[in-house]
Chain A
Amino acid sequence: MYQYSNFDHEFVAQRVAQFRAQVARRLDGSLSEEEFKPLRLMNGLYLQLHAYMLRVAIPYGTLNGRQMDQLATIAERWDKDYGHFTTRQNIQFNWPKLEDVPDILQALADVEMHAIQTSGNTIRNVTADHFAGAAADEIADPRPIAELIRQWSTDHPEFQFLPRKFKIAVTGSPHDRAVTQAHDIGLRMTLQDGLRGFEVIVGGGLGRTPMIGKTLSPFVPLEDILPYLEAVVSTYNLLGRRDNKYKARIKITTHEHGIDDIKHRVETKFVKIKPLFTGEDMHILKEIERHFEPPNFKPAKPPVEAISTTSQPPAFRAWLDTNITPHKVPGYAIVSVSLKKPGATPGDASAAQMRALADIARDFGHDELRISNEQNVILPHVHRADLPQVYHALRQADLATANIGLISDIIACPGMDYCALATARSIPVAQQIATRFHALKLEHDIGPLKLKISGCVNACGHHHVGHIGILGLEKAGVESYQITLGGDAGEEAEIGTHAGPGFGADQIVPAIERLILGYLHLRANETESFLEAYRRLGLAPFKALLYPQEKKAA
């Protein structure tokens, strides 16, 4: 994986020293809160409901055991023994004290991590397919280009005060696990005449005005990608609205001007910019690629099938069924570690669990870990012969929940339990739904189902692209939960349809239960997923399940 250059080390060290001085000046009164707030946000420090929150970037979701150990140390030393992994492949610490934050940033810098540009109207942490470098369906590892984009966008002088925040996601696989169509820019690797390049998607995003991104160019060759991105962001920087923050994202710019107009402006800009890129970016990319050489995979010596025979304990077999994905190298597997034990907070890992994950990665996973946008941890390279030991070690750390892709593998934002922007709580709803369906023992019968919960219209919980989405709002002084159906985060991305009036906090779990039990009767057969059944039947029968009283009244 990428290792900091001297430049990276010096830059991050400088930023830590700057922030240390800024915190000191805030504490001694030299800086007002108005002056200090943009400085702390540049370093990922928010003030939330109960405390400060530090958002740390995990670039393209990749980290090693040493870095995971350091996150555990931060949790133990300066927080409350846990961290919260987010849908943007970041980790958030919910309880740091202001005067400790410079030390935390130094601890991050010590392991080549930072919290820079995890807030503010800048290009945020670049996200990538969490199976990058391991997926069987991958054209090539998208992380070198993601790292190049990180280097280009970090402290980019032209892009520090964009009209609004800007999110870029990259995938190297045709099967889109990186939700590229819900980002300001989504990059999908493609091949044309044997040459690598990217389909560039622009103007996707969730939030209060959800939109699926549009293709700006079906193919931009690899050597043109950085000047092309610079042309897109530069065009947006000039054209994007600054009069209304709710209309400032590039999705609105694209919507208002039309994709053809944006394309014309970008291409005009690109022609001007391209000569300024003299090939140094491709030289740097070559250097970066050396850091992402695959590990020394072990030969597939033991019989691969042996571990999935019926002689294995049922719990282990259930885990194999749900948490393992095919790897590009024979004899290897991708292990998804669920942070969604029923009743637990989605995305939370204790310091002890982080240390266990670091140990397992070192012992059995070529020292690599990934964070997924679905708030789980990935061990991308595990030899299949080691799966029983990995399962055992995960079980010891209470991390062996076998529910990846099932109804209890819920995405949930922190909601009003922590977030200052939230309009309702998300976590208790996720806890109750997961606990209820675990008790019903129906998860595996229900099959693949993406349930996503956001505690406000900003949609950090990706509810618009959940097969079932739940949005927490305030209605008449109490929490109210709206349901959307039929959303999809994959390569056929779709925004879910609003199903009807909201449900009170005590009604949302029974409503979801009616919906799911009803689906089990509606589906054509046991293999038809919730989303497939919804697409076949449309909203009406599902709406009738949610609002049975309306049916009676009619």
Chain B
Amino acid sequence: MSVTPISKVVTANDLRSGEVIYLRFPHSWTPELSKASVITDDDLAQAGLAFAKGQANVVVGAYLSDVVAEIDGPKASHFRDTFRSTGPSNYRHGKQEI
């Protein structure tokens, strides 16, 4: 029986704006979860997290977030991370602003 590997992304908040951002390998950040680098390797995940934590002047509160890899990009596994990736449900603010 095959076990689906747990996919992860590195996420944090932008130090200046507070916006939720995701790591794109090797060294850039994107506000869109769909463009984040999906990691299935533990060592790589830890390396990504270490890189994020080393960027103390750019990001804050970095952590590894579980995702499900889908055709149009990763989707958050937990509803909290889903809300982080989309924005609040009462106004079209944050990532929902055009």
**CB within 8 Å of B: which residues of A?**
26-29, 32-33, 47-52, 80, 94-95, 97-99, 345, 348, 416-418, 425, 427-428, 431, 474, 477-479
Contacts and interface: CB of A to CB of B under 8 A. Distances in A.
B87 A50 contact: yes
Nearest to A417: B88
B90 A51 contact: no
Contacts of B24: none
A99 B18 CA distance: 11
Nearest to B83: A416
A345 B20 contact: no
Interface centre among B18, B57, B80 (most CB of A within 10 A): B18
B43 to A, nearest CB: 25
A51 B17 contact: yes
A51 B15 CA distance: 9
A428 B90 contact: yes
24 contacts: A49-B84, A50-B84, A50-B88, A50-B93, A51-B13, A51-B17, A52-B18, A80-B93, A94-B93, A95-B18, A97-B16, A98-B15, A99-B16, A345-B91, A416-B80, A416-B83, A417-B90, A418-B88, A425-B83, A427-B88, A428-B89, A431-B90, A474-B79, A477-B78
Interface string B6-26: 000000010111111000000
Given A33-B60, A416-B80, A97 B17 contact: yes
Contact of B18 (A28, A98, A428, A474): A98
A477 B57 contact: no
A51 B89 contact: no
B73 interface: no
Contacts of A52: 18
Contacts of A428: 89-90
Contacts of B60: 33, 47
B96 to A, nearest CB: 10
A345 B18 contact: no
A48 B13 CA distance: 9
A80 B56 CA distance: 27
Contacts of B15: 26-27, 33, 98
Given A80-B91, A95-B93, A428-B90, 12 more contacts: A29-B56, A33-B61, A47-B18, A50-B18, A50-B88, A50-B95, A98-B16, A345-B90, A345-B91, A416-B80, A417-B90, A477-B78
Nearest to A431: B90
B50 to A, nearest CB: 16
A400 to B, nearest CB: 21
B78 A27 contact: no
Contacts of B13: 47, 51
A80 to B, nearest CB: 6
Interface string B45-71: 000000000001100110000000000
A458 to B, nearest CB: 15
A50 B79 contact: no
A507 B21 CA distance: 33
A365 B71 CA distance: 59
A27 B17 CA distance: 12
Nearest to B93: A80
A27 B93 contact: no
Interface centre among B15, B88, B93 (most CB of A within 10 A): B88
A477 B79 contact: yes
A434 to B, nearest CB: 12
Contacts of B19: 50-51
Nearest to A98: B16
B80 to A, nearest CB: 6
Interface centre among A32, A33, A478, A479 (most CB of B within 10 A): A33
A51 B19 CA distance: 5
A80 B97 CA distance: 11
Interface centre among B19, B84, B90, B95 (most CB of A within 10 A): B90
B78 to A, nearest CB: 7
What 5 A-B pairs come out closest when comparing CB atoms? A51-B18, A417-B88, A52-B18, A29-B57, A50-B94
Nearest to B16: A98
A3 B60 CA distance: 39
A351 B68 CA distance: 40
Given A33-B56, A345-B90, A48 B18 contact: yes
A98 to B, nearest CB: 5
A52 B19 CA distance: 8
Nearest to A48: B18
Contacts of B93: 50, 80, 94-95
B71 to A, nearest CB: 23
B20 A49 contact: yes
Nearest to B81: A49
A420 to B, nearest CB: 9
A417 B56 contact: no
A531 to B, nearest CB: 29
A348 B91 CA distance: 11
Nearest to B61: A47
A97 B18 contact: yes
B17 A417 contact: no
A48 B20 CA distance: 10
B16 A27 contact: yes
Contacts of B18: 47-48, 50-52, 95, 97-98
Nearest to A414: B88
Nearest to A422: B80
B12 to A, nearest CB: 10
Contacts of A33: 15, 56, 60-61
Interface centre among A50, A95, A99, A428 (most CB of B within 10 A): A50
A27 to B, nearest CB: 7
Contacts of A99: 16
A104 to B, nearest CB: 14
